[in-house]
Amino acid sequence: MIRTEEMILNVGPQHPSTHGVFRLVVKIDGEIITEAKPVIGYLHRGTEKLAEDLQYTQIIPYTDRMDYLSSMTNNYILCHAVETMMGIEIPERADFLRVIAMELNRIASHLVAWGTYILDLGATSPFIYAFRDREMIINMLNELSGARLTFNYMRVGGVKWDAPEGWIEKVGSFVPYLRGQLIGYHQLVSGNEIFLDRVKGVGKYTKEEAIQYSLSGPNLRSTGVKWDLRKDEPYSIYNRFNFDVPTSEDGDCLARYHLRLQEIEESLKILEQAVEQFPGEGPIMAKVPKIIKAPKGEAFVRIESPRGEIGCYIYSDGKKEPYRLKFRRPSFYNLQILPKLLKGENIANMIAILGAVDIVLGEVDG
Amino acid sequence: MIEELLQSSPGWANFGIFFLLGAVLLLIVLGFVTYGILAERKVLGYMQLRHGPNQVGGKWGLLQTVADVLKLLLKEDIIPKAADRPLFIIAPVIAFAPSFMVLATMPFTDKFQFADIGVGLLYYIAVSGLTTFGMLLGGWASNNKYALLGGMRASAQMISYEIPLVMSVLGVILLTGSLNLNDMVEAQKHGWFIILQPIGFVVFFIASIAELNRTPFDLPESENELVAGYHVEYSGFRWAFFMLAEYVYLFAMSALITVVFLGGWLAPISFLDFIPGAVWFALKFSVVVFVYIWLRATLPRFRADKLMEFGWKVLLPIALANIFLTALIKSLFF
Amino acid sequence: MLGLVKGLKYTLKNLTKEKVTYDYPNKPLPLPDRFRGIQKFYPEKCIVCNQCMNICPTDCINLTGKKHPDPTKKGKIIDTYDINFELCILCDLCTEVCPTEAIIMTNNFELAEYSRDMLFKNLEWLDENDENIRQVNKP
């Protein structure tokens, strides 16, 4: 008699497609997954606990290392939270620099998501093309902040450095360049029948499920919910710019793939306008006390990171260190829907679904 | 020359000559594998805006593969404790041996061929099917779940794509009236079979990629899903044998396509006949290899279930229709 | 089928395009002035204010001062100054708080060593690290 039995397969923590040290324990029947259990925590560094012993300025380098693909938004969320508590007004020029840096970083992050997603599906070249263009962004941010990934650029009350000479023009000329490259990206991948076969209708969920699982970012917008904090709760100076929030009704991996590429285009629009409106002169730091002490009380702020809503909760008892700091890390929340999505899929789809969620393990594990 | 040897009475001298010729062919094939791998890495690199290997052996990295192979030779031979030892050891050999055996029947030029057997094409396809056993056994013997899945995929894929592969050349066989590869080349004097049998060629080419386990059909070893598939536990020279088998098949399959569809050693236009056949063969062969590499640089991977569907529901019916069409044309016009 | 052909065309077009890789170990990476590499330390400028030690988020800086050898002068001079590069994340905060610019960043970033102990850099080493020093230190 032929006997079949289920097999437990450990995917990760060292696996090419888990984007870091993520472990997935799947029970498979042949190649069909009957149960999936994510195991996280391999990259847990206790950022929130460490922050309780650190001054606010000292926490900023730690936020760089949470979502290491978009450090700028992480920098911003902490500074924004502290500024909200202290009621600091940010100078206009600093706000512009912040927005430009954040949008550049968003593009870089989506480019990585795009490249690695196609790499997960088996094509190697798009990854390199994406990294070629990302490298230009990284170099620009390197010129601005002095680091390629862990920027540590923003400070409570402003930014550390003013834009170097000619930098704004460089950003301005990068916008049309990337627009041209995006056409190539679509040529290379978006119409590819094999690719469409892999992602169309895969990993589908509904609007209700997305909201129940508290998804955010492209994962939420792929189901048709038009929710982008840059539009719905404008922070910084985002209300000055004219841009769209792309959404899709399909809720599958293909929709998420397209949304990321469309978001790059929207970010390019913002960059274009920001470069145009960039104020010629002005301070880059507000008047802040030398030792930053958030007043007694609590605050929660949230912004739109490339991966979704990133939030920061600070409870302060008036000292120079926070009493409690909590980050709402979008990757962590977006990951929670994975066991549900993976049930009944095969192993190839598992990779496609996991890649489309676009997690960064530094952020999942905190 | 070879015909005479085959006919003559057995003896040590004959054995020696055969052995020597075999060794020469092995060296040629190894030379191709060495530079085939280098060419693949270079072309992939250039398409991906990189340089590819450029450190070992000058600017073109001419010794890179040699260095890699030496490194593999020096590696510790690791056999997992829980592995099925005899099977684990023999699997790479089973995978490699047929890949070299199939070359015996390949007519590289009208003179350079080892065995001019009547059923050359059939022999090629039958023997190449044996490699699947090596992959399956390797996957099974490793006692690794990823390897098992890879081996499973390998056998499923190879079996389902062997059928369209055979069916698609049936049209060529019908037109030639022979299974002999030399006859096939001769039959292309007035027009290559790629022109006479375009549908058959496309089906054959797609099925051949699947047979070679190359992108977009590299499911048995899909790096992003199964880490390395059936050879995940192999290292050192055992692993090298799997890779060698893969690239020798690339050699053999490109040669077969050249012979069956691209007119083998024949010149495309008759007044170019003064250029030796070996050059033409090499040129056509290189183009086929380049297309394989090019596809690898561009395409993502199929999904296992879609692959099966594609093989059985698309390729096989098309191949069958092609046979029917060819038979019709042959009976009407020839 | 059309999508596949388009993709193939795109990769073929890239075959002849200019390469984008850096020839890194052979040619040094072009880095902007602001790049944050291994610190350079000027012992003569240091006033032993301990600010860098206090601001360091990873506590990788250790320093001790001693009384000024010249009894007519007030204040302290630096005695030992160690940075532990196992911990240092090159965040730039020490150079930001330094009132005399005694510690500044350089463009050197190659920190690979054969032993962990060698990542423990002392005052002399940091003083000798005087290549590619950052020109503009304060915004």
pLDDT digits (tens, 9 = 90+) for A260-299: 888 898 889 888 888 888 888 888 888 888 888 888 888 8
Three-state secondary structure call for residue B318: helix
Q: Which helix (H) or strand (E) holds B7?
A: helix B2-7
Contacts B149 to A, Cβ<8 Å: 9, 31, 347
* pTM for the predicted model, two decimal places: 0.87
Average pLDDT for chain A: 87
Contacts A188 to B, Cβ<8 Å: 298
| DSSP one-letter code for C133 | B
Gap between the Cα atoms of B155 and B134, Å rounded: 10
B49 close to C (CB below 8 A): yes
Give buried/exposed letters for C46-82 (b at 16+ CB in 10 A, else e).
bebbebbbebbbbebbebebeeeeeeeeeebbbeebb
Helices B12-47 and C2-14, axial angle in degrees (round to 10): 90
The residue of A6, A117, A192, A347 whose CB has the most chain B CBs within 10 angstroms, and thus the best one to mutate to test that interface, is A347
Region of B156 (left: φ > 0; alpha: ψ -120 to 50; beta: rest) is alpha
**Nearest-CA distance from C83 to chain A in Å?**
17
Task: Report the pLDDT averaged over residues A243-270.
Answer: 88
- Choose among B212, B199, B183: nearest CA to B316: B199
Task: Report the pLDDT averaged over residues B268-294.
Answer: 80
- Tell me the pLDDT tens digit for each residue of A137-159: 999 888 888 888 888 888 888 88
Q: In terms of pLDDT, which residue wins out, C47 or B115? A: C47
Confidence of residue B334 (pLDDT cuts 50, 70, 90): low
- Tell me the pLDDT tens digit for each residue of B145-155: 888 888 888 88
Indicate whether B3 pLDDT > 70: no
Indicate whether A168 pLDDT > 80: yes
CA torsion sign, C50 to C54 to C60 to C62? positive
Quick check: A348 and B222 CB within 8 A? Answer: yes
**Nearest-CA distance from A129 to chain B in Å?**
7
Selecting from C10, C12, C14 the residue whose C-beta is nearest the C-beta of B49 gives: C14
Contacts C89 to A, Cβ<8 Å: 61, 150
pLDDT of residue B4: 66
Pull the structure tokens for residue B30.
């190894």
B202 close to C (CB below 8 A): no
| DSSP one-letter code for C116 | G
**Nearest-CA distance from A27 to chain C in Å?**
35
Give buried/exposed letters for B101-135 (b at 16+ CB in 10 A, else e).
bbbbbbbbbeebbbebbeebbbbbbebbbebbbbb
pLDDT of residue B2: 61
- The strands making up A32-39's β-sheet, listed across from edge to edge, are A7-11, A23-29, A32-39
pLDDT of residue B1: 55
Which pairing describes strands A23-29 and A158-159: parallel, antiparallel, or unpaired?
unpaired
Alpha helices of chain C — where are they, by DSSP H? 2-14, 51-55, 93-97, 123-128
Selecting from A7, A16, A123 the residue whose C-beta is nearest the C-beta of B299 gives: A123
Task: Report the pLDDT averaged over residues C25-43.
Answer: 86
Nearest CA in chain A to B144: A9
The residue of B42, B47, B206, B287 whose CB has the most chain C CBs within 10 angstroms, and thus the best one to mutate to test that interface, is B47
Gap between the Cα atoms of B254 and B260, Å rounded: 10
- Interface list for chain C against chain A, based on CB atoms closer than 8 Å: 1-4, 6-7, 9-11, 14, 20, 31-32, 34-36, 55-57, 89-93, 96, 105, 139
Selecting from C8, C19, C20 the residue whose C-beta is nearest the C-beta of B298 gives: C8
CA torsion sign, B88 to B90 to B93 to B95? negative
Cα torsion for A189, A190, A195, A198, to the nearest 10°? 150
Interface predicted TM-score (ipTM) of this complex, two decimals: 0.86
CA torsion sign, A191 to A194 to A199 to A200? positive
Q: Which helix (H) or strand (E) holds B321?
A: helix B316-333
- Tell me the pLDDT tens digit for each residue of B319-333: 888 888 888 888 887
Contacts A19 to B, Cβ<8 Å: none
- B52: which residues sit within 8 A by CB, 6+ positions away? B41, B42, B43, B44, B45, B46, B61
Quick check: B224 and A351 CB within 8 A? Answer: yes
CB distance C81 to C40 below 8 Å: no
Nearest CA in chain B to C26: B55
Quick check: B299 and C7 CB within 8 A? Answer: yes
